[in-house]
Chain A
Amino acid sequence: MKKQKLRVLFLTRRRVGLLALLAGAGLATAQTPAALELALSERDFLSDMPIVLSVSRLPQRLDETPGAVTLLDRDMIRRSGARDVADLLRLVPGFQSSTSFEAGAPVASYHGAFERFSARIQVLIDGRSVYSPALFGGTGPGLQGVALEDIERIEVLRGSNSAAYGSRAMLGVVNIVTRHTVDTLGLQAKLSGGENGVRDVQTHLGWGQDGATFRLALDRRGDDGLSGANGHNQVKRVNFRADLRATASDDIQLRAGGLVIDSGKGYSDKPTSDPLRDRSFESSYVQLDWRRILDVDEDLALSMSRTQESHRDNFPFSLLPRFRINDSIVIDFGGRTRSDVLTLQHTARHGTDVRVVAGGEIRREQVSSKPSFNTEAARVTDFTRLFGNVEWRMAPDLVLNAGALAEKSSDSGNSVAPRLMLNWHLAPGQTLRGGMSKAYRPPSAFEKYADIRYFYRGHELPGPATRSSGRVQPESVQTRELGYLGDFSPFGFNLDVRAFHEQAKGFVEGTTGQPRDFFNGAAFSIKGLEYQLKARPWGGAQLNFNQAYIDIDSSVAATAASAPKRSSSLTLFQQLPGGLDLSLMHQRSGMAKLVGEGASSRFSRTDLRLGWPLRWASKRGELALVVQNLGSPYQDFVSAFRFQRRAFLTLKVEN
Chain B
Amino acid sequence: MVRRTLLLSFWLVLCAASWAHAGATVVIVSSERSAAYGEAAQALVDELERGGLARAEVLQLTALEFSGAGPLTPKLYVALGTQAAQVLASAEWRAPVLCTLLPRNSFERVLRESGRKTSAQFSALYLDQPLSRQLELIRLALPEARRLGVLWGPESQGQAAALKALALARGLELVEASVGRDELLFPSLKKVLEQADLLLALPDPQLYNSSSIQNILLTTFRARVPLVAFSPAYVRAGALLALHASPTQLGLQAGLIARGVLQGKTLSATPIYSQDFSVTVNEHVARSLGLKLEPAVLSAHLRRREGTP
Chain A, 281-298, contact with B by CB distance < 8 Å: what is the 0/1 string?
000000000000000100
CA distance A296 to B233 in the complex (A): 11
Is residue B284 contacting chain A, with contact meaning CB distance below 8 A?
A: yes
The listed residue (A17, A40, A51) touching B204 by CB distance below 8 A is: A40
When distances are taken between beta carbons in the complex, the residues of chain B under 8 Å from A40 are 103, 105-106, 109, 155-156, 203-205
Chain A, 54-70, contact with B by CB distance < 8 Å: what is the 0/1 string?
11011101000000000
Is residue A52 contacting chain B, with contact meaning CB distance below 8 A?
A: yes
The listed residue (A23, A58, A210) touching B67 by CB distance below 8 A is: A23
When distances are taken between beta carbons in the complex, the residues of chain A under 8 Å from B3 are 3
Is residue B249 contacting chain A, with contact meaning CB distance below 8 A?
A: no
Q: Which residues of A in the span 1-53 have a Cβ within 8 Å of any Cβ on B?
A: 3, 6, 17-18, 20-21, 23-25, 27-28, 37-42, 44-53
CA distance A95 to B254 in the complex (A): 67
Is residue A248 contacting chain B, with contact meaning CB distance below 8 A?
A: yes
Chain B, 212-224, contact with A by CB distance < 8 Å: what is the 0/1 string?
1111011101100
CA distance A210 to B7 in the complex (A): 64
Q: Which residues of A in the span 441-491 have a Cβ within 8 Å of any Cβ on B?
A: none
CA distance A615 to B212 in the complex (A): 30
Given contacts A38-B206, A58-B284, A183-B190, contact A51 B102 (CB under 8 A): no
CA distance A183 to B215 in the complex (A): 10
Q: How many of B's residues come within 8 Å of A, CB to CB?
A: 66
Is residue A326 contacting chain B, with contact meaning CB distance below 8 A?
A: no
Is residue A209 contacting chain B, with contact meaning CB distance below 8 A?
A: yes
Given contacts A38-B155, A50-B213, contact A20 B233 (CB under 8 A): no
The listed residue (A18, A45, A59, A211) touching B128 by CB distance below 8 A is: A45
CA distance A210 to B184 in the complex (A): 9
Pairwise interchain contact B205-A44, C-beta atoms closer than 8 A = yes
Chain B, 183-222, contact with A by CB distance < 8 Å: what is the 0/1 string?
0111100100000000000011110111111110111011
**Which of the candidate stretches B44-52, B169-177, B234-242, B256-264 sits at the interface with the other chain?**
B234-242
When distances are taken between beta carbons in the complex, the residues of chain B under 8 Å from A41 are 81-82, 102-103, 106
A215–chain B nearest beta-carbon distance, Å: 14
A103–chain B nearest beta-carbon distance, Å: 35
Pairwise interchain contact A37-B205, C-beta atoms closer than 8 A = yes
Pairwise interchain contact B238-A52, C-beta atoms closer than 8 A = yes
When distances are taken between beta carbons in the complex, the residues of chain B under 8 Å from A42 are 31, 36, 81-82, 101-103, 106, 127
Is residue A543 contacting chain B, with contact meaning CB distance below 8 A?
A: no
Is residue B253 contacting chain A, with contact meaning CB distance below 8 A?
A: no
Given contacts A39-B155, A53-B237, contact A58 B205 (CB under 8 A): no
When distances are taken between beta carbons in the complex, the residues of chain A under 8 Å from B77 are none
Is residue A180 contacting chain B, with contact meaning CB distance below 8 A?
A: yes
Is residue A185 contacting chain B, with contact meaning CB distance below 8 A?
A: yes
CA distance A45 to B221 in the complex (A): 22
When distances are taken between beta carbons in the complex, the residues of chain B under 8 Å from A18 are 68
The listed residue (A28, A53, A210) touching B211 by CB distance below 8 A is: A210
CA distance A296 to B232 in the complex (A): 13
CA distance A267 to B155 in the complex (A): 71
B184–chain A nearest beta-carbon distance, Å: 6
Chain B, 8-34, contact with A by CB distance < 8 Å: what is the 0/1 string?
000000000000000000000001000
When distances are taken between beta carbons in the complex, the residues of chain A under 8 Å from B308 are none
Chain A, 334-349, contact with B by CB distance < 8 Å: what is the 0/1 string?
0000000000000001
Given contacts A23-B67, A45-B230, contact A3 B7 (CB under 8 A): yes
Is residue A652 contacting chain B, with contact meaning CB distance below 8 A?
A: no
When distances are taken between beta carbons in the complex, the residues of chain A under 8 Å from B233 are 47-49
Report the nearest B residue to A355, measured CB to CB.
B284
**Which of the candidate stretches B115-123, B131-139, B285-293 sits at the interface with the other chain?**
B285-293
Is residue A516 contacting chain B, with contact meaning CB distance below 8 A?
A: no
Given contacts A38-B155, A42-B101, A52-B238, contact A21 B64 (CB under 8 A): yes
Interface core residue of A21, A47, A49, A54 (most chain B CB under 10 Å): A49
CA distance A481 to B31 in the complex (A): 63
Pairwise interchain contact B87-A49, C-beta atoms closer than 8 A = no
Is residue B280 contacting chain A, with contact meaning CB distance below 8 A?
A: no
B9–chain A nearest beta-carbon distance, Å: 13
Pairwise interchain contact A44-B68, C-beta atoms closer than 8 A = no
Q: Which residues of A in the span 514-573 have a Cβ within 8 Å of any Cβ on B?
A: none
Pairwise interchain contact A183-B222, C-beta atoms closer than 8 A = yes
Given contacts A39-B106, A183-B190, contact A24 B64 (CB under 8 A): yes
The listed residue (B64, B208, B282) touching A28 by CB distance below 8 A is: B64
CA distance A50 to B218 in the complex (A): 13
Report the nearest B residue to A179, measured CB to CB.
B222
CA distance A559 to B293 in the complex (A): 52
Pairwise interchain contact A27-B210, C-beta atoms closer than 8 A = no
The listed residue (B154, B186, B244) touching A45 by CB distance below 8 A is: B244
Pairwise interchain contact A44-B63, C-beta atoms closer than 8 A = no
A636–chain B nearest beta-carbon distance, Å: 36
Is residue A352 contacting chain B, with contact meaning CB distance below 8 A?
A: yes
Pairwise interchain contact B186-A52, C-beta atoms closer than 8 A = no
When distances are taken between beta carbons in the complex, the residues of chain A under 8 Å from B90 are 27
Pairwise interchain contact B103-A45, C-beta atoms closer than 8 A = yes
Pairwise interchain contact B81-A52, C-beta atoms closer than 8 A = no
Q: Which residues of B in the span 85-121 have a Cβ within 8 Å of any Cβ on A?
A: 86-87, 90, 101-103, 105-106, 109
Is residue A164 contacting chain B, with contact meaning CB distance below 8 A?
A: no
Given contacts A23-B67, A48-B233, A211-B211, contact A38 B205 (CB under 8 A): yes
The listed residue (B7, B67, B236) touching A49 by CB distance below 8 A is: B236
When distances are taken between beta carbons in the complex, the residues of chain A under 8 Å from B149 are none
Pairwise interchain contact B238-A24, C-beta atoms closer than 8 A = no
Is residue A245 contacting chain B, with contact meaning CB distance below 8 A?
A: yes
Is residue A182 contacting chain B, with contact meaning CB distance below 8 A?
A: yes
Given contacts A39-B109, A42-B106, A44-B203, contact A51 B222 (CB under 8 A): no
Q: Which residues of A in the span 203-237 have a Cβ within 8 Å of any Cβ on B?
A: 209-211
When distances are taken between beta carbons in the complex, the residues of chain B under 8 Å from A20 are 67-68
CA distance A180 to B215 in the complex (A): 10
Pairwise interchain contact B67-A46, C-beta atoms closer than 8 A = no
Given contacts A17-B68, A55-B284, contact A248 B210 (CB under 8 A): yes
Pairwise interchain contact B217-A53, C-beta atoms closer than 8 A = yes
CA distance A38 to B247 in the complex (A): 22
CA distance A158 to B64 in the complex (A): 66
Pairwise interchain contact A49-B64, C-beta atoms closer than 8 A = no
CA distance A40 to B82 in the complex (A): 9
CA distance A38 to B106 in the complex (A): 11
Pairwise interchain contact B63-A46, C-beta atoms closer than 8 A = no
Pairwise interchain contact B221-A53, C-beta atoms closer than 8 A = yes
When distances are taken between beta carbons in the complex, the residues of chain B under 8 Å from A39 are 106, 109, 155, 205
Pairwise interchain contact A180-B103, C-beta atoms closer than 8 A = no
When distances are taken between beta carbons in the complex, the residues of chain B under 8 Å from A296 are 236
When distances are taken between beta carbons in the complex, the residues of chain B under 8 Å from A23 are 67
When distances are taken between beta carbons in the complex, the residues of chain B under 8 Å from A248 are 210, 214
Pairwise interchain contact A44-B210, C-beta atoms closer than 8 A = no
CA distance A392 to B288 in the complex (A): 16
Can you give 23 A-B contacts (C-beta < 8 A)? A17-B70, A23-B67, A24-B64, A39-B155, A40-B156, A41-B82, A41-B102, A44-B103, A45-B128, A45-B230, A46-B231, A46-B247, A49-B234, A50-B214, A52-B214, A58-B284, A58-B288, A182-B218, A182-B219, A185-B186, A185-B187, A210-B212, A349-B284
The 8 tightest CB contacts between A and B, nearest first, are: A24-B67, A53-B238, A21-B68, A52-B217, A49-B233, A49-B237, A40-B155, A41-B82
Residues of A within 8 A of B (CB): 3, 6, 17-18, 20-21, 23-25, 27-28, 37-42, 44-55, 57-59, 61, 152, 180, 182-183, 185, 209-211, 245, 248, 296, 349, 352
Residues of B within 8 A of A (CB): 3, 7, 31, 36, 63-64, 66-68, 70, 81-83, 86-87, 90, 101-103, 105-106, 109, 127-128, 154-156, 181, 184-187, 190, 203-206, 208-215, 217-219, 221-222, 230-231, 233-234, 236-238, 244, 247, 282-285, 287-288, 290
With A40-B106, A44-B230 known, 10 other A-B pairs at CB within 8 A are A20-B67, A24-B87, A28-B64, A38-B181, A39-B205, A40-B103, A42-B36, A53-B238, A58-B288, A352-B284
